Amino acid sequence: MSGRAGSTAAQIELRLPIWESEEVPAVSPNADLDKLSSNAAHDREEITDEDLIELTIERFKEKLQSGRWTCLQLTQAYLERIARLDGKLNAVLEVNPDAAALAKQLDDNFDELGSLPLYGVPLLLKDNIDTADRMTTSAGSLALEGRRAKRDAFAVDKLRDAGAILLGKVNMTEWANYMSDDMPSGYSSRGGQTNNPYGAYPVGGSSTGSAAAVSANFALGTVGSETSGSIVSPAAAHSVVGIKPTVGLISRSGVVPLSLTQDTLGPIARTVLDAALILEAMAFGDEADACTLLPQRPVSFLPGRMDLTGRLKVGVVEGFARRLDAETSAVFEQALAGLQAAGIEVKRGLDLPIPEEEGDGTVLRREFKSAIDAFFAAQPPGQGPADLAELIEANRANPQERLRYGQNLLEEAQQAGGSLEDDVYQSSKADGVRSAGEEGIDRALEQYGVHALLFTDYEGSDLAARAGYPLVSVPAGYTESGRPVGLLLSGTAMSDPLLIEIAYRFERATQKRKAPKAFR
């Protein structure tokens, strides 16, 4: 443990054994299943399905402190809800067979650990995040089916330190949506297609399962990953909060990679505060990921505490606003009014003449080839492909199951090579960072005197991706046909707390999120 809750808490280990052999026991050695249903330390109430709808971390903590709920009760309630309802959603790939045992351990150590920030909070993780337990991590690919990591991802280790319960793994767009141009968001060969709980609407990508599961109230929060839009896009599509932090605030160690310079993990939750709590638990420097060793890090990400000397100001990018369809534009205008009601000044007419696409894709192709080859090389012999070339051939050998939508992006990355030393890659990366950051987002913020730029859904996310800058998506409302729309806030490096504060004030003033009817 990290010791943040005191010396007593630091001495208690809340992890089940890591099995070195491939032969894992059917039941964890320390899972006393006969006693899981009894906990005399709490005077309990039954947790109903209605209790789970829009449950927040704060409300859960109140129930725990009063002795009316236990960690085990909530964990079992979510597991039952997933088993009953996920057939319509197809968001959860697997549940943690040891989740109940871990919850029982927390209950048994309530006096020592109850003050941990995520004590007993059940979370679901995207399928590209390693966990050193009996769950698998496959990036949605059948090529990695059954793969068990030897170590937790660094961020997962921090979540455990904070007291979180890892409830399961959720579906994602295979290889983080870097396999085929024709592959629909939310599809993987391992998990199939994830659906939108609001109906036949887009699901966003590639952290689709992360957003769908938390929107359907399958957990208190989830963790996704983003290279370019993969947290904020599904967050908007499923009417939840998604935070894509400044690259470097959260370690990528133990995460199946796509890009060396753009990848980051980030939280998805139903409220801004819950997402900020999860973010804060993961945001630590990691010597194994030099990108995280930033000289200046925010003191806190939690909203409602900022001592601001002036009024918060946001700006509408004119070129983007003109392209919105009538239904989306109506929701956006309502969101602007909501921002003003929250005391936030809205400036219109901002000019941001930056192309939204990366160009020829050199940076992602090179970085993916280099990163994924290094990932495969670090795996134990015989556990999956040896490199990208072998992955491509393995997929070709089983096209019916593995190549439903092809693999042109994998093939293009292999053909382009993975050199990160030549002038073509170096200049492409530098040009992208400069045009999106210094000459794009930063210039607009300074020129117009605003703290954040406004978009909807995933528009503008490519600029933040190339610059490594943060994004926050918060529910803005619904079109007349019922499609969720997200308000996207974009800012400069390390402005994460400021964006979170703006989103928090907007959320409190508008309360736009509504739970999907089919999952109430």
169-217 tens-digit pLDDT: 999 999 999 999 999 999 999 999 999 999 999 999 999 999 999 999 9
Cα–Cα distances in Å, from 1 out to 115, 127, 283, 371, 517? 13, 24, 15, 30, 40
Q: Of 61, 104, 126, 169, which one is the catalytic site residue?
A: 126
Predicted local confidence at residue 17, as pLDDT: 41
Share of the chain above pLDDT 90, in %: 85
The one-character DSSP state at 438 is: I
Q: Of 188, 206, 370, 490, which one is the catalytic site residue?
A: 206
Q: Find the mean pLDDT for residues 110-122.
A: 97
Q: Find the mean pLDDT for residues 156-175.
A: 98
Query: What gap in Å lies between CA 27 and CA 85, rounded to an integer?
Result: 25
Predicted local confidence at residue 304, as pLDDT: 87
Residues in the chain: 520
SS (H, E, C) 210-275: HHHHHHCCCCCEEEEEECCCCCHHHHHHCCCEEEECCCCCCCCCCECCCCCCCCEEEEEECCHHHH
Query: What gap in Å lies between CA 40 and CA 25, rounded to an integer?
Result: 29
Predicted local confidence at residue 296, as pLDDT: 83
Predicted local confidence at residue 6, as pLDDT: 36
Predicted local confidence at residue 178, as pLDDT: 98
Share of the chain above pLDDT 70, in %: 89
Long-range contacts, stretch 387-396, CB < 8 angstroms, 24+ apart: 388/413, 388/414, 389/414, 391/141, 391/143, 394/143, 395/143
Q: Find the mean pLDDT for residues 142-162.
A: 97
Tell me the pLDDT of the chain averaged across its residues: 91
Task: Report the candidate in 93, 107, 197 with the shortest Cα–Cα distance to residue 147.
Answer: 93
Active site residue 126: yes
Reported as a single tens digit per residue, the pLDDT across 421-456 is 999 999 999 999 999 999 999 999 999 999 999 999
Q: Of 230, 233, 251, 370, which one is the catalytic site residue?
A: 230
Radius of gyration of the chain (CA): 22
Cα–Cα distances in Å, from 11 out to 79, 113, 422? 29, 10, 49
| Residue 236, amino acid | A
Of the pLDDT bands very low, low, confident and very high (cuts 50, 70, 90), residue 30 is very low
| Segment among 44-48, 121-125, 304-308 with least mean pLDDT | 304-308
What's the CATH number for 45-519? Answer: 3.90.1300.10
Predicted local confidence at residue 3, as pLDDT: 35
Predicted local confidence at residue 15, as pLDDT: 55
| Segment among 109-123, 302-316, 360-374 with least mean pLDDT | 302-316
| Residue 309, amino acid | T
Active site residue 230: yes
Query: What gap in Å lies between CA 369 and CA 365, rounded to an integer?
Result: 6
Predicted local confidence at residue 461, as pLDDT: 96
Higher per-residue pLDDT: 41 or 36: 41
Q: Find the mean pLDDT for residues 313-318.
A: 96
Tokens of 260: 């060396």
Query: What gap in Å lies between CA 10 and CA 6, rounded to an integer?
Result: 6
Predicted local confidence at residue 253, as pLDDT: 98
pLDDT of 403 higher than 60: yes
Predicted local confidence at residue 355, as pLDDT: 56
Contact between 275 and 221 under an 8 Å Cβ cutoff? The reply is: yes
Task: Report the candidate in 119, 20, 113 with the shortest Cα–Cα distance to residue 61.
Answer: 119
- Largest Cα separation within the chain, whole Å, is 67
Of the pLDDT bands very low, low, confident and very high (cuts 50, 70, 90), residue 14 is low
Query: What gap in Å lies between CA 342 and CA 312, rounded to an integer?
Result: 10
Other beta carbons within 10 angstroms of residue 295's beta carbon come to: 4
Predicted local confidence at residue 31, as pLDDT: 37
pLDDT of 33 higher than 70: no
Active site residue 244: no
Burial class (CB in 10 A: 0-12, 13-18, 19+), 57: buried
Predicted local confidence at residue 383, as pLDDT: 84
pLDDT of 358 higher than 60: no
Query: What gap in Å lies between CA 310 and CA 451, rounded to an integer?
Result: 11
Of the pLDDT bands very low, low, confident and very high (cuts 50, 70, 90), residue 1 is very low
SS3 361: coil
Q: Find the mean pLDDT for residues 322-326.
A: 95
Of the pLDDT bands very low, low, confident and very high (cuts 50, 70, 90), residue 41 is very low
Q: In what order do the strands lie in the sheet with 484-490?
A: 92-95, 165-170, 122-126, 221-226, 264-269, 241-244, 471-478, 484-490, 452-456, 313-317, 345-350
Phi–psi pair at 272, nearest 5 degrees: -65, -45
* Chain mean position to CA 121: 16
Reported as a single tens digit per residue, the pLDDT across 263-298 is 999 999 999 999 999 999 999 999 999 999 888 888
> Nearest-5° angle of CA 6, CA 9, CA 12?
155
Reported as a single tens digit per residue, the pLDDT across 204-257 is 999 999 999 999 999 999 999 999 999 999 999 999 999 999 999 999 999 999
Of the pLDDT bands very low, low, confident and very high (cuts 50, 70, 90), residue 13 is low
Cα–Cα distances in Å, from 409 out to 49, 156, 183, 259, 469? 42, 29, 10, 14, 25
Contact between 122 and 167 under an 8 Å Cβ cutoff? The reply is: yes
Of the pLDDT bands very low, low, confident and very high (cuts 50, 70, 90), residue 418 is confident
